[in-house]
Structure 1
């Protein structure tokens, strides 16, 4: 058996036994881990404590027993909250033997909001709010007006007792139980809580933010119509006093939050839904028994669309803000998107080919307040930032979908105009989003074209000297074979295109970049397109359009010029675009004399007639019939080089901006979107048509 090393004990577990385990009793756990209950120990945590006490008073207002709440920020750092509600119960709770005041102030998870019927809907749900504030206070005083008496109780860091003076530094004697401090006016009830934050817990810099307090108080006053919420700041001299009272409820709140001009009035959507859930309920013996209960959930939504782009959506559960949303917010957004898509289709505001609008389209310019109210909601954590009750999503979605559809489908004159404005607003947002995405995709596609390898069908040249290099854009694969034999591969490159390329006069940038022929031309020239076009990056000194000498060839040339004008205009302005001049006819001279050309080429019907007349006049005979080229592919390599490609013998026509603009105007006339000008052109030109030239 191997012995343990000298520097280690023989039994490794002897240093960790049950006596090393700690049990935090009562409020000791709160003081040990305050962040778990209030989020932090800075100003935000301090504000959370203030609202734990205020929310208790607001719950009384929600239950219909409180009409006024005063919040006083004292100069000595304490905060006092006064309400005219029913007052905390002062009688003894039978199971613990403690009065109601001591119970809610010293015991975690104790209160009147656990299904006992005291509150139908409440913001305080875990029964830890008041007791947590008490645990984190160097001193807390509670006064309760109830039963014609004023009841008083004080605490020091959660422990009950009596002070012999003012403030947290006064001598303290631990002692339980309520003290009757005097008589209250007949019928007067209410609660007053004053507390001093414990600086052993909160950091030195932690202070109450007056603006945050005002904003939260204003929000509460909107959510509880009729409630008078009065703020006092005694840290200033004279003291600042502000009373907040709104009778319009969340509709007025929605209008207050809106950052832009209105597209619609504030729409109010209200309804109720029911759901069942299984919860543990205390029976008479104090045992938790799983029980299925039916809940009623009230939904109240106010919303309006504005001309702007920002979205403001505030959600609440029993007037407690849920800044990170939850099931009620997701149900609202889902129903909003589904309903608007249905109406947009039914009203034919969206075309059949257009995709459905998304949540972001619907939320653009929207201001909304979404509130739900029901007993014992499930929150994620004590800070109550996210609602987790699953049924809320379904119920909110049902209420919103039903009532919003009624509003948007209304046939009343005012409602119909307003509904149309909303639908147009959402549809416009969707179209803008799609256009922006297409622009981004086009830029990516353009970048990909500019950086990817050259297409396989390009027959490139060897030289990189732009003063010499030429790119022939050739019509058809049949002409490519002949052109390969006719070209000088040192400086002449060939790119074949199949027939007539896309009409970019009517096509979008996205369609143009998706077109294989257009994309290949842009890619081979290598200088980009549109605003990103860089003339110095062009790979060739000349761009030569080589198409057949017939009507179709002219049409293809026009299409190519339109593409160059739209996407690579600096290339044309620099005089680097040319049109090749292939012949239309070949005249073979019979028995040519020495020094006489055997073949004569003409480029137009008029030139053919003049040439034949000249030959006849000089007594020169030719073979009949005169060859008419139907395409470049009918020439052999020697003929193509001699007539069209050899720089020493060919004729090129430089394309100027004036020519290009004229071509674009003609092309717009003949192939553009406007039908009326094209009809007028055909009618006006019909009288001058030479009927003999029509092959019928």
Structure 2
């Protein structure tokens, strides 16, 4: 009982004196994830974005046209801009310099509704101070009023470093005691302004193996230069890290684009264009009640009128992938928000209006197009600019300002409707092609859904609904089953005798299937070979493809080891990449590797004859050389021109039996390369193909041409 009572006392011993009030930057160091999301590489990069975004806000409001980011070899990073410079005069309520207020006080800055900024990415006034709190050292220099002002901090505390032995976070540090000092360390010409911030991330917070990701930084710099035409972003990497462009010495990249979001959209687009890049622009106003600080520092609610400026660039391509990037005051919102909801709402309304007006010509019937049909193949950049947007959290991934939805929806609906109904020849042609694509996507979705509902895994008695040329297997264990797509009836005949019918199915195709790279969805579905492959796999196509519904655990492309076989394999890979991509991503698509040669030796004494297979001319010559050194007599090597030339035992042993065969798993990189090469060789754009032929003519191996 005594022990029980003691436990109760301990549990009840909880009073106000146990509560901790974290003041200033202590809260940031105690709970950094609350402010930067995490303390891994993502959090490290987020700190850098906070500093860069402050410089971008200056450019966004018309001050400066260049930002430099330097990754130093000692692990520090420096951001330099040509903005107005952080204020250096005393802030009246605290008596501290503007620099110290911004760098040490949470929720302090010039972006809370004053006239200093009209549209910014920084909203909460915690960005720079959070970075300061999580840095083992931060140095800041401001060019303003003809002077260079400087201040240093150690984990958020202002003071002075003794850098006689070298600049770094381990230099002796003396904190300010009575009052802080903003030092004047130089002079600049009148009119020259800017801010330079260099900091060392604190490895008491961030793991020592975290470092700035040059790839992510380059993508962010490129994105920013697209969003602010004329801005020059310079990234200089002095770290000499292995595996980076600067591994052998300092590497500098300059990002500068004058084309704005139209050029950005073209850069992001993954497919060949079906329409031009259209620009939808407009604005709208709304009122909201916000708390505002008066001159005495008191908070009072006021109703203010806001303006939201909408700028959208979009284009449709021949594919079905959708790429929509959204930004608010050039801050990326990867999880969307009210502006994306408005964009999709306006898009759907504009399309439905046009589809209803052209229903008879497009033969829509009673079917209803959905949002996904309209967004298939869409690449868009959606930007909104407004004062004091409301985000969900400090990481600013979702816009929450509700009034923006209606404004964006109205702009998109009005502007897109005008474009789709334009009477100029070029726009009229593009609009007609786009509407046909949407209807094709709708019909493909309905067709795929119907197919999925009716073409689930069939038993031997139910297989009559599948294509007659499919030679199915008996097993219902999907993970174990294999579908061989074979080239021609001759290979089918040999394959039937060589396969294990328990788990290996064969589907023959006649020669070269449709080039789906430049064919429409409708044409692809009408093609007998493409339709048969999609039907046999049984998991749908395009957006409706569900890899879990696939009828086979492996899909193996078994084509001849010649130029035509490679061509057919590339066509098939293009079909899988464009319309059954999740199957490739899941690693379930393979290419069989049949041998090119069969080498047989004669028996000598007690030594039995050997049969060896080789897969290239070089390997064949090497193998023959090794056999001759051993004194073996070699019969004339057999060269296989196609799979049909093998007998069943040979095909089974070399290409179909899991114990002996060789398979190449097709990765996304393989499929993307195949599509890229095929687009070059057989796509709609003739000029690159002509250049390729001219440039490659000298390297052609004439012996590979069958004449």
SS in structure 2 opposite 1:93?
coil
* Contact persistence 2:362–2:436 (CA under 8 A): no
Using structure 1 for the length normalisation, give the TM-score.
Answer: 0.63
2:227 alignment partner, one of 223, 226, 243: 223
Instruction: Tell me the distance in 1 between the aligned counterparts of 2:379 and 2:237.
Output: 31
Instruction: Tell me the distance in 2 between the aligned counterparts of 1:439 and 1:121.
Output: 50
Superposition deviation, residue 419 in structure 1: 0.9
Superposition deviation, residue 284 in structure 1: 2.0
* 1:121 equivalent in structure 2: 119
* 2:196 equivalent in structure 1: 192
- CA change 1:259–1:10 in 2 (3 A) is closer
What are the residue-to-residue correspondences of 1:419-438 with 2, within 5 Å? 419-438=431-450
SS in structure 1 opposite 2:197?
strand
* Contact persistence 1:345–1:351 (CA under 8 A): no
2:427 alignment partner, one of 392, 396, 415: 415
Instruction: Output one character per residue of 1:472-501: Cα deviation in whole Å (capped at 9) or x when no partner.
Output: xxxxxxxxxxxxxxxxxxxxxxxxxxxxxx
2:289 alignment partner, one of 263, 271, 278: 278
- CA change 1:218–1:8 in 2 (3 A) is same
Instruction: Tell me the distance in 1 between the aligned counterparts of 2:40 and 2:424.
Output: 54
* 1:181 equivalent in structure 2: 185
2:139 alignment partner, one of 138, 141, 155: 141
What are the residue-to-residue correspondences of 1:75-114 with 2, within 5 Å? 75-114=73-112
- CA change 1:14–1:413 in 2 (3 A) is closer
* 1:15 equivalent in structure 2: 13
Instruction: Tell me the distance in 2 between the aligned counterparts of 1:431 and 1:365.
Output: 15
Superposition deviation, residue 238 in structure 1: 2.4
* 1:372 equivalent in structure 2: 384
* 2:257 equivalent in structure 1: 246
* Contact persistence 1:84–1:191 (CA under 8 A): yes
Instruction: Tell me the distance in 2 between the aligned counterparts of 1:244 and 1:23.
Output: 45
* 1:315 equivalent in structure 2: 326
* Contact persistence 2:103–2:129 (CA under 8 A): yes
* 2:406 equivalent in structure 1: 394
SS in structure 1 opposite 2:279?
strand
Superposition deviation, residue 319 in structure 1: 0.3
* 2:560 equivalent in structure 1: none
Instruction: Tell me the distance in 1 between the aligned counterparts of 2:47 and 2:190.
Output: 32
Instruction: Tell me the distance in 2 between the aligned counterparts of 1:119 and 1:275.
Output: 19
Instruction: Tell me the distance in 1 between the aligned counterparts of 2:8 and 2:202.
Output: 47
- CA change 1:409–1:445 in 2 (3 A) is farther
Instruction: Output one character per residue of 1:650-681: Cα deviation in whole Å (capped at 9) or x when no partner.
Output: xxxxxxxxxxxxxxxxxxxxxxxxxxxxxxxx
1:340 lines up with 2:344 in the alignment: no
* 2:58 equivalent in structure 1: 60
- CA change 1:414–1:101 in 2 (3 A) is same
What are the residue-to-residue correspondences of 1:259-270 with 2, within 5 Å? 259-270=270-281
Instruction: Tell me the distance in 2 between the aligned counterparts of 1:417 and 1:317.
Output: 33
Instruction: Tell me the distance in 2 between the aligned counterparts of 1:240 and 1:309.
Output: 37
1:35 lines up with 2:46 in the alignment: no
* 2:24 equivalent in structure 1: 26
* 1:211 equivalent in structure 2: 215
Instruction: Output one character per residue of 1:62-92: Cα deviation in whole Å (capped at 9) or x when no partner.
Output: 0001111000000000000000110000011
SS in structure 1 opposite 2:353?
helix
SS in structure 2 opposite 1:45?
helix
SS in structure 1 opposite 2:431?
helix
* Contact persistence 1:102–1:177 (CA under 8 A): no
Instruction: Output one character per residue of 1:106-159: Cα deviation in whole Å (capped at 9) or x when no partner.
Output: 000101110011111000111000000000000000000000000000000000
Superposition deviation, residue 444 in structure 1: 6.0
Superposition deviation, residue 41 in structure 1: 0.8
What are the residue-to-residue correspondences of 1:678-689 with 2, within 5 Å? none
* 1:300 equivalent in structure 2: 311
SS in structure 1 opposite 2:273?
coil
Superposition deviation, residue 353 in structure 1: 2.4
SS in structure 2 opposite 1:98?
coil
Superposition deviation, residue 177 in structure 1: 2.5
* 2:590 equivalent in structure 1: none
* Contact persistence 1:58–1:66 (CA under 8 A): no
Superposition deviation, residue 330 in structure 1: 1.1
SS in structure 2 opposite 1:153?
strand
CA RMSD across the alignment? 2.0
* Contact persistence 1:337–1:362 (CA under 8 A): yes
* Contact persistence 1:4–1:10 (CA under 8 A): no
- CA change 1:303–1:9 in 2 (3 A) is closer
Superposition deviation, residue 96 in structure 1: 1.1
Superposition deviation, residue 354 in structure 1: 3.1
1:384 lines up with 2:396 in the alignment: yes
* 2:161 equivalent in structure 1: 163
SS in structure 1 opposite 2:314?
strand
Instruction: Tell me the distance in 2 between the aligned counterparts of 1:153 and 1:446.
Output: 74
Superposition deviation, residue 12 in structure 1: 6.2
Instruction: Tell me the distance in 1 between the aligned counterparts of 2:457 and 2:35.
Output: 53
1:235 alignment partner, one of 235, 239, 248: 239
Instruction: Output one character per residue of 1:581-640: Cα deviation in whole Å (capped at 9) or x when no partner.
Output: xxxxxxxxxxxxxxxxxxxxxxxxxxxxxxxxxxxxxxxxxxxxxxxxxxxxxxxxxxxx
Instruction: Tell me the distance in 2 between the aligned counterparts of 1:264 and 1:179.
Output: 58
Q: Which runs of 5+ in 1 are unaligned?
A: 452-531, 533-696
Q: Which runs of 5+ in 2 are unaligned?
A: 241-247, 464-550, 552-707
* 1:590 equivalent in structure 2: none
Instruction: Tell me the distance in 1 between the aligned counterparts of 2:258 and 2:99.
Output: 33
* Contact persistence 1:41–1:206 (CA under 8 A): no
Using structure 2 for the length normalisation, give the TM-score.
Answer: 0.62
- CA change 1:414–1:10 in 2 (3 A) is closer
* Contact persistence 1:105–1:134 (CA under 8 A): yes
SS in structure 2 opposite 1:8?
helix
Superposition deviation, residue 351 in structure 1: 3.4
* 1:676 equivalent in structure 2: none
- CA change 1:28–1:6 in 2 (3 A) is closer
* Contact persistence 1:337–1:357 (CA under 8 A): no
Superposition deviation, residue 347 in structure 1: 2.1
* 2:129 equivalent in structure 1: 131
What are the residue-to-residue correspondences of 1:542-691 with 2, within 5 Å? none
Instruction: Output one character per residue of 1:235-265: Cα deviation in whole Å (capped at 9) or x when no partner.
Output: 1342100111000100000000001100000
Instruction: Tell me the distance in 2 between the aligned counterparts of 1:445 and 1:242.
Output: 54
